[in-house]
Structure 1
Amino acid sequence: MFRTTDIVLIAAMVAAAGFTYMTKHGAEAELSKLRRLQSDIRLEEEAIDVLKADWSLLTQPSRLQRLAEIYHSELQLAPVESHQFADISELPERPLEIEDFLNDELDGIVDSGIDATTTSGVSE
């Protein structure tokens, strides 16, 4: 009745059909994930647009001026005068930190041609 080659070919066709079905089902699942992510991204972008609009409304100069006038007694805000600006020479010197020393040392290594990524200090 059936030869061995017929049975092998039928088994191969069934396996190929199963593989095709699994691949198609996996692709559809990935496509649905992609669409869900795209809709989530769209929602987040819309939320960002709304937040930007709110921010622009909250930072309008006329609104801030009105709030400054309302809360003047609590905040004691005043415009900045020209004599309040400091010169560079009047600023205190910044204290040194360990990162400053490390950055200077690495700059010296890079300037000398030594590969900074190696620990042996061998130049290439």
Structure 2
Amino acid sequence: MFRTSDILLIAVMVSAAAFTYKTKHEAEEQLIAVRKIEQQIRFEEDSIDLLKADWSLLTQPARLQKLAETYQNELQLAPVEARQIVGLNDLPTKPVDVQDTSSKRLGGVADSGGTDKVVTGAVVR
């Protein structure tokens, strides 16, 4: 009837079919995951586009001018005068205070006058 080689070949074919099915199933799961991530990316890109559109509407000069006029009393805004604009060289410099730490004792083993009490397994001469 069946020889040993026939049974062995049938087992190899069944194993190959099972491996192929498993690989195909994993590939389909990965494809579903990739499509889900691509959908999330599209959603985020659409959200960014919507936020950019909102920002451009909110920062229109005509709208800002109207708001500034409406809330003039609360904001107390005034136009910028030419004397208010200065260069970097016109700003006063901040004095630099450098402390001398070379004469200070910083603590530690050197200040205690002794040796380190931690046993490290080193050979002492």
TM-score (norm 1): 0.71
Identical counterparts, % of pairs: 61
Match of residue 5 from structure 1: 5
Match of 1:31 in 2: 31
* Structure 2 residue aligned with 1:66: 66
Cα displacement (A) at 1:89: 2.4
Partners of 1:81 and 1:58 in 2: how far apart?
26
Highest Rg: 1 or 2? Answer: 2
Counterpart-to-counterpart distance in 1, 2:48 and 2:77? 32
Distance 1:74 1:55 in 2: 24
Aligned residues: 96
1:44 and 2:44 correspond: yes
**1:94, CA displacement in angstroms?**
5.9
Equivalent-residue separation in structure 1 for 2:27 and 2:4 (angstroms) = 34
Structure with the larger helix share = 1
CA RMSD of superposed structures (Å): 1.6
Residues 62-118 of structure 1: per-residue CA shift (max 9 Å, x gap): 10001111111111111110010123322133677xxxxxxxxxxxxxxxxxxxxxx
2:102 aligns with: none
Extract unaligned runs of 5+ from structure 1: 97-124
Please list every run of at least 4 consecutive aligned residues from structure 1 whose deviation after the TM superposition is greater than 4 angstroms: none
Q: 1:85 to 1:12 in 2, by over 3 A?
A: same
CA distance in 2, matches of 1:37, 1:94: 52
The within-5 A match list for 1:89-108 is 89-93=89-93
Residue 6 (structure 1) shift: 1.0
Structure 2: segments with no counterpart, 5+ residues? 97-125
Distance of aligned partners of 1:58 and 1:95 in 2 relative to their CA distance in 1, 3 Å threshold = farther
Pair 1:20-2:29 in alignment: no
Aligned to 1:105: none
**In structure 2, what is the Cα distance between the partners aligned to 1:95 and 1:17?**
80
Query: Which structure's relative contact order is higher, taking Cα pairs within 8 Å and 6+ residues apart?
Result: 1
